[in-house]
Structure 1
């Protein structure tokens, strides 16, 4: 199973290289009829403040004819405050009661009231960028033109485009980045699928739908009977059903929206349990191994998606096998050292070499093993139960708020037990051995050490890290002016957040913390933003002082523009590629030192009293 999933990924990478497949998004043109678009923001019980950011961003989306863009809030709880929000932003509100089919039921109900030929789906927390439609609608225009040209020339028909998926992007550090002090080193864990694997799927015109920030053909969704209601992952199943119905699907690599990802252990694990159960159930619904409607490539993609969730069981087996031999002399593999060196070692290292050679710059295999080890204790059992037909009782929207309690700390127990047993196995297996004995046992020691390192990372992730910042900080360089006694002075912002910003002045002036300042920001292609605020601190930089301001907005109009300035674009403070100069061993050292320093500070405070 492990080799099969690796070979499938290698196969699609080499196929894309051979065919030189690279999706080029053409420019949006008004030469063709501009399609009307319904942009549906799906909400259940999320905070209205979070929903407001997404609705506000949707009203700023670029489209040549804004009359053909209809922003819709689909609320399945009929909340008065959400209806009021829709009136405030002059967008359509579609409420409902008695929803029995979770997100799918909400979307299907909204579609009954809409008729545009294209519609987009956004989750409450997934904030769209202004370029979302200019990065997706042209692909539908191009597909329509190709189909018309093929029909006019009596050539084989070109398949109709069913949907375009843009990457799942997040503006806050995920649990791996944040808890491992890796915000500047590794990309978001989900980037590997969204910006790499799914783009490969799209090169075969069978990209998977990932639940949000995708643009659909209404005809394609109607052809399959709407969003499926017999699974927890309606997105995965819907995309596959659209492909089976004869439509194609594409995935772009440039983020056109950004959301918030949970960083508390309980929230992350519950989210992945739902995904695991949903995909296993959807694969059963789709009969991926025997369905005659699936093409060879599409079947491979779905099988690979299915086997991915079984990788957590194989990770448990990988961890237990050397422990069984080291502690109890249970021989899982019946082979001596030299047979392993001749048969196993070449294949193992060659496979890893090929995976490294064909891998993307987003994530290497070692980080993949750490993330797989982290989820393994909590995902292998739900996958087995769902496979046996024992289903989860109810669906629950993932809470994106950071919550930490004593119960959350208990999630560390499986990692600690595995870590402790692995450490004991390493010591007992190698104690008293010398020379050739150590060499012959090196394979077992090698695996024990690899798992020990992975489990050490899992312990650090489960230990967590204090969250001090209430809102995320974005790198945003925007010109503006600061009012001083003798007039407006030019400035440039360095970063922004909902609560404040920092800036530098072209001509530094004498400013002191505690002063109230008046600023005017002039973002490109946008109206000016007026704001005031208290100067909190002045920091010395290499060239010019950096001024940090606590922001206050005078009215809702300026507040809306300021929110759009913050969230309109990927958070450049987070990496999109892995820093290959930093190894997992470097990261392990960093985490050990950071936590030792924390414990030292706590101890010094205790001894002081």
Structure 2
């Protein structure tokens, strides 16, 4: 990293610390009304915590820039023994059709010696149809009745019946790619060799966490029409923050698609059953025993993420409560077995779940002043500009510079604002020991109801109040009055933009497609007029695919029924199909609905679809698209949708 960048990073932290010192000692209204004083203290506390999380990110970027550690995935050394591995697919009550895709994908994983891969379905529901699925795919089936410890109990029960030195964990909807094992296990085989050669200077690897990746658009991408402009919200942690954690040997376990060293899991007592985030707590226990953990960047599995607001909020509430439970269980502030670096990571993780309360405080502070003249910061405007502005803007410039291509700071604020109204109360309740009575596994099936429309209420109330505050605060002001009030106006406008996004996010979109499409360029041939005609697919899905003929002069008509072969690698998949779409304009292509009879062909077709990421979804944020462009896009598309619905209504009448 260039020296000038390092200097700017350090200067940003120094100026920010000076500002915080000034805020604490010179701006708190100690003699104000008790309500004003409490809110003032909450505000300054929020600023301190926000700055701490920013410092951690900046310092970790600096540390990583100075490291020479290779992050490349090692290759199997075939001179070394290939370890046995148990692949545990955990299921509770998920649909068998969804589970089938994961089991099928697991059977296609590459490994130097596939006889050493033992695939196990761990079903705590003791379902006959899941037992039959295991029999169909010739994998092992482990069950239990009356599970009192949810997912952790299910996994522990399976581990009691397994003995491989390594094991991998998959949720029922998280399908491994064919290269999953070759992208994770070599870390262990390389570590085994290094431990044997130099045990005094080598730390053992406890687990390798691969990214949480999803093949469908999340609630932000989908509801904002931004699948090709912004990245899945969870990618920022999985492919950026956790990779930073892992570069320091303390990656967090995120619940699925990870590989573990069996001996350390046994040593810490298996998967914890005293929390609803057994993943986070298990990873912390492993690190506390001196074992390191690694997080990789490139996805080697893919699952489905909920897109209805009710399921998303329930999922995040469970995560928030669980992390707070685990932090309390592990005594992250005082536990002597936790190293300083790991303690910083854990505290930073704990603080993340308080960011939603902080976001509400940030929204309320300018509203209180603009609408009710409640002043929670005693500061002269010009002194504020001298002390606050340089540190604030330099810090945010540095945060932008240190941001990866996955997500910028502005999108982080929008996402925090979205979750804030629904997470701050559960976080507070869990922190004071009031636990939720019952938790359910997140339902990944989209289920919209009239209740979903009510989720918009807190966003609309805050949005309306912010709009009112902007108008009231600036109405009638001229000249220097506008300048002096510019800081309040600045924050009001920022929050107004964020809340506008939240309104659009909470407005559901209709899902017209039954299954996701994936860009796949497979070769095949179709019988046309008694002769085989070659084609290449454009995209594929569970229900069919679209393709272009090699011979551009060939045409099929709507509803034509033909048969053909499509190749998954070198395997011929026989199918029958009906033409559902025929596009005569360049590029000329056809869309077909397929029917595949043989099970082996069906399995290969599923693997053709799901062995790889969904390239229709963006992997990097489009930095050329501003928030104003995104808001404008949503206004236009929402208006078109209203116009289309109105037209359909008039036709029905």
Interval containing the TM-score (normalised by the shorter chain): over 0.9
Structure 2 partner of 1:205:
249
Structure 2 partner of 1:34:
82
Does structure 2 retain, via aligned residues, the 8 Å contact 1:326–1:428? yes
Does structure 1 retain, via aligned residues, the 8 Å contact 2:546–2:592? yes
Structure 1 partner of 2:101:
53
1:107 to 121, 136, 155: 155
Deviation at 1:26, TM superposition (A): 1.3
Does structure 2 retain, via aligned residues, the 8 Å contact 1:283–1:306? yes
Report matched runs for 1:181-260 at 5 Å.
181-260=225-304
Structure 2 residue runs of 5 or longer lacking an equivalent are 1-48
Please state whether the residue corresponding to 2:198 is helix, strand or coil. helix
Report matched runs for 1:454-533 at 5 Å.
454-508=498-552, 509-524=554-569, 526-533=570-577
Q: Which runs of 4+ in 1 moved over 6 A?
A: none
Does structure 1 retain, via aligned residues, the 8 Å contact 2:211–2:297? yes
Report matched runs for 1:369-388 at 5 Å.
369-388=413-432
Q: How many residues align?
A: 603
Does structure 1 retain, via aligned residues, the 8 Å contact 2:105–2:177? yes
Structure 1 partner of 2:117:
69
1:178 to 200, 222, 230: 222
1:315 to 343, 359, 367: 359
Does structure 1 retain, via aligned residues, the 8 Å contact 2:568–2:604? no
Tell me the alpha carbon deviations over residues 172-219 of structure 1, each in whole angstroms, 9 at most, x when there is no partner.
000000000000001100000000000011101111000000000000
- 2:163 is the alignment partner of 1:133: no
Deviation at 1:344, TM superposition (A): 1.0
Rounded to whole Å, the distance in 2 between the matches of 1:541 and 1:235 is 51
Rounded to whole Å, the distance in 2 between the matches of 1:591 and 1:552 is 37
TM-score by length of 2: 0.91
Please state whether the residue corresponding to 2:542 is helix, strand or coil. coil
Rounded to whole Å, the distance in 2 between the matches of 1:365 and 1:442 is 22
Please state whether the residue corresponding to 1:290 is helix, strand or coil. coil
Please state whether the residue corresponding to 1:197 is helix, strand or coil. helix
Rounded to whole Å, the distance in 2 between the matches of 1:339 and 1:378 is 36
Please state whether the residue corresponding to 1:230 is helix, strand or coil. coil
Rounded to whole Å, the distance in 2 between the matches of 1:63 and 1:541 is 45
Structure 2 partner of 1:93:
141
Structure 1 residue runs of 5 or longer lacking an equivalent are none
Does structure 2 retain, via aligned residues, the 8 Å contact 1:121–1:215? yes
Please state whether the residue corresponding to 1:463 is helix, strand or coil. coil
Rounded to whole Å, the distance in 1 between the matches of 2:420 and 2:146 is 36
Does structure 2 retain, via aligned residues, the 8 Å contact 1:520–1:531? yes
Rounded to whole Å, the distance in 2 between the matches of 1:254 and 1:310 is 29
Does structure 1 retain, via aligned residues, the 8 Å contact 2:474–2:482? yes
Structure 2 partner of 1:145:
193
Tell me the alpha carbon deviations over residues 525-572 of structure 1, each in whole angstroms, 9 at most, x when there is no partner.
x42211110011111453x41110011102211111101110010111
RMSD: 1.1
Tell me the alpha carbon deviations over residues 32-52 of structure 1, each in whole angstroms, 9 at most, x when there is no partner.
111011000000011011000
Deviation at 1:604, TM superposition (A): 4.0
Rounded to whole Å, the distance in 2 between the matches of 1:563 and 1:245 is 41
Rounded to whole Å, the distance in 2 between the matches of 1:22 and 1:403 is 44
Please state whether the residue corresponding to 1:164 is helix, strand or coil. strand
TM-score by length of 1: 0.98
Deviation at 1:245, TM superposition (A): 0.9
Deviation at 1:486, TM superposition (A): 4.8
Does structure 2 retain, via aligned residues, the 8 Å contact 1:258–1:570? yes
Structure 2 partner of 1:120:
168
Rounded to whole Å, the distance in 2 between the matches of 1:314 and 1:20 is 37
Rounded to whole Å, the distance in 2 between the matches of 1:441 and 1:119 is 60
Please state whether the residue corresponding to 1:181 is helix, strand or coil. coil
Does structure 1 retain, via aligned residues, the 8 Å contact 2:230–2:618? yes
Please state whether the residue corresponding to 1:72 is helix, strand or coil. strand
1:394 to 422, 438, 455: 438
Rounded to whole Å, the distance in 2 between the matches of 1:493 and 1:599 is 34
Please state whether the residue corresponding to 1:444 is helix, strand or coil. helix
**CA spacing shift, 1:391–1:568, aligned 2, 3 Å:** same
**CA spacing shift, 1:481–1:606, aligned 2, 3 Å:** closer
